[in-house]
Structure 1
Amino acid sequence: MSANSTSLLISTYNWPEALELVLKSILHQTVEVNEILIADDGSDDRTKSVIDAFKKNTSIPIKHFWHEDKGFRKTIIMNEALTNADSDYIIQIDGDIIMHPNFIADHISDAKKGLYIKGSRSMLSDDRTKQIIATKNINIHPLTEGVGSKINASRIPMLSFLFRGDKHRSNNLRGCNFSFWKKDFLAVNGYNNDLEGWGHEDIELAARLTNLGIKQRQLKLKAVCFHLYHKINPRHNEDLNYKKYLAVAKNGTVKCKNGIKHL
């Protein structure tokens, strides 16, 4: 069952050069989304300038959600953006993900009630990333030097079923290529704001979706995207956040207490 309406959610923080390329890849999509949501974790005015310039090149409604930079508070701004989504289906990426032209179409074609979709990504090298940013050429071929994981970089829809499977699984989700039904997101009370700092907010959300009874559909050879290289973010609370994920998975928790609503 395909979605009636679809929102593209992009998370971003102070990398306007990357966001510009991500937005450019929207213009190349074979299927348009109904709206674009940008969850901005406190970027400076350069990001707003990129978004304002992009608005002149598209008729798709754009909603920019921003809060003050007080450290890593991604879950809070993601919850705000998603609560205000007007569509029934959400496709989520990061602000450093360049989408294949069929990315949106592929997610929509595999959307089904009772499932969320976990896609893959091809990692770009530092040199390839610098070249793409310098030239703004986002036509990326899977066999090009500096394009990692040739399987993740290749789109062969007729073979996608070989990898798919629909399983109760959460520990392998990456929020940079992820789609789900808004009603399911609301049912688990959204992202958990008790996860402080970088790490594991995506699998913790997936664990609660799993506990709700939602299965994961894996997409490979479809919904292809490319991750621009950047240095690894500080991960001071990663272990603590992972322990919270394990507790959710063990205890069967469906709703977090500190999410969209304070329960």
Structure 2
Amino acid sequence: MQAKSSLLISTYNWPQALELVLKSVLNQSQLPDEVIVAEDGEDQTTKTLIEGFKSKLAIPLIHISHEDLGFRKSVILNKAIAKAQGEYIIQVDGDCILHKHFIKDHLSFVQKNTYLYGSRVNIQEPYLETLFSQQKINFNAFSKGIKKRTRALYIPLFSGLFKTKTVLSSKYRGCNTSYFKSDAIAVNGYNEDIQGWGREDSEFALRLVNKGVLGRRLRYKGIVFHIFHVEKSKAQLKQNDGIEQQTILEKSIWCKNGIDKYLGESNETNT
């Protein structure tokens, strides 16, 4: 089915990586209807970088940011989803380079009452100097500098073998997922009680599952290449685990502190 789409890129203070991601957007075989960069902070270099890409894209490029008060990915994602004009959201992280057919692959499997999740291939730390000096955005299963090579296999015909599921897969990653905006709103978006690294993506997906939204894996299609970085602090992980476990035990479909406060408002910073 055809659906107007918004590509949502979440980022925090790493314009060097974001530049490669945006270059991979320019390289797409099919563009979304708009791109929204959701910045969990206010970095001037990031703002300047995004401004420079606006004239290169034939579609709107929107920048949403807020004050840097620590890891608040759930908050900035909710603001971006509320702002999105597309009925279908394709979501990646600002350190994930998109395969050339990434957007096309996600849109090819759009189906009502279904969310999608694709593969993440890791670019290793020793390759970073080459990655950034050569501004490399094209990878495949035989490229240097990656691991988990089978995840980089691009065989679209095989993707049809993967069917929808009623449970959340351990393969689900919020850095490569897509869903209808209406489904996100129906579960009140991301849970803003989850702050600090960990569980914001899976807890959101669990409420989609509890609502009856089916999950489908985009194996052999819809690939991203994740740039190595030092892991973020996990100081809040235990608390976030508790929130997620409560969602599981209560089979929750709604979070109290979610996206509803932003709907119909324009209280975020747009550039």
Task: Classify the TM-score, shorter chain.
Answer: over 0.9
Contact 2:185/2:260 (CA < 8 Å) preserved in 1? no
SS in 1 for 2:201: helix
Residues 137-176 of structure 1 aligned to structure 2 (within 5 Å): 137-162=136-161, 164-170=162-168, 172=170, 173-176=172-175
- Distance in structure 2 (CA, Å) of the matches to 1:251 and 1:171: 19
Code of the residue aligned with 1:78 in structure 2: it is L
Partner residue, 1:126: 125
Shift of the alpha carbon at 1:130? 2.4
- Distance in structure 2 (CA, Å) of the matches to 1:11 and 1:195: 16
Partner residue, 2:210: 211
- Distance in structure 1 (CA, Å) of the matches to 2:185 and 2:46: 28
Q: Which runs of 5+ in 2 are unaligned?
A: 262-271
Give the CA RMSD over aligned residues: 1.2
Shift of the alpha carbon at 1:3? 3.7
Partner residue, 2:259: 260
Shift of the alpha carbon at 1:152? 1.1
CA, structure 1 residues 60+111, in 2 after alignment: closer, same or farther (shift >3 Å)?
same
Residues 115-134 of structure 1 show CA distances to partners (whole Å, capped at 9, x for unaligned) of 10011100010122321111
* More displaced 10-residue stretch of structure 1: 71-80 or 178-187: 71-80
Contact 1:3/1:89 (CA < 8 Å) preserved in 2? no
Contact 2:163/2:217 (CA < 8 Å) preserved in 1? yes
Partner residue, 1:106: 105
- Distance in structure 2 (CA, Å) of the matches to 1:252 and 1:136: 45
Contact 1:29/1:101 (CA < 8 Å) preserved in 2? yes
Code of the residue aligned with 1:8 in structure 2: it is L
Code of the residue aligned with 1:193 in structure 2: it is E
Are 1:233 and 2:232 matched, yes or no?
A: yes
- Distance in structure 1 (CA, Å) of the matches to 2:239 and 2:33: 37
Contact 2:191/2:200 (CA < 8 Å) preserved in 1? yes
Contact 2:114/2:216 (CA < 8 Å) preserved in 1? yes
Partner residue, 2:5: 6
- Distance in structure 2 (CA, Å) of the matches to 1:216 and 1:129: 33
Q: How many residues align?
A: 260
Are 1:54 and 2:53 matched, yes or no?
A: yes
Code of the residue aligned with 1:191 in structure 2: it is Y
Are 1:85 and 2:84 matched, yes or no?
A: yes
- Distance in structure 2 (CA, Å) of the matches to 1:37 and 1:44: 16
Contact 1:72/1:198 (CA < 8 Å) preserved in 2? yes
Shift of the alpha carbon at 1:144? 2.1
SS in 2 for 1:261: helix
Contact 2:71/2:197 (CA < 8 Å) preserved in 1? yes
Code of the residue aligned with 2:259 in structure 1: it is I
- Distance in structure 2 (CA, Å) of the matches to 1:69 and 1:13: 9
Residues 95-134 of structure 1 show CA distances to partners (whole Å, capped at 9, x for unaligned) of 0010011000000001100110011100010122321111
Shift of the alpha carbon at 1:145? 2.8
SS in 1 for 2:231: coil
- Distance in structure 1 (CA, Å) of the matches to 2:252 and 2:5: 28
Partner residue, 2:241: 242
Contact 1:171/1:203 (CA < 8 Å) preserved in 2? no
Code of the residue aligned with 2:201 in structure 1: it is D
- Distance in structure 2 (CA, Å) of the matches to 1:208 and 1:219: 20
- Distance in structure 1 (CA, Å) of the matches to 2:129 and 2:52: 22
Shift of the alpha carbon at 1:35? 0.4
Shift of the alpha carbon at 1:141? 2.6
Residues 22-37 of structure 1 aligned to structure 2 (within 5 Å): 22-37=21-36
Shift of the alpha carbon at 1:171? 5.3
CA, structure 1 residues 187+214, in 2 after alignment: closer, same or farther (shift >3 Å)?
same
Partner residue, 2:182: 183
SS in 2 for 1:236: coil
- Distance in structure 1 (CA, Å) of the matches to 2:259 and 2:158: 38
Code of the residue aligned with 1:165 in structure 2: it is K
Residues 159-198 of structure 1 show CA distances to partners (whole Å, capped at 9, x for unaligned) of 1233x22112225321100000000000000000001211
- Distance in structure 1 (CA, Å) of the matches to 2:19 and 2:144: 23
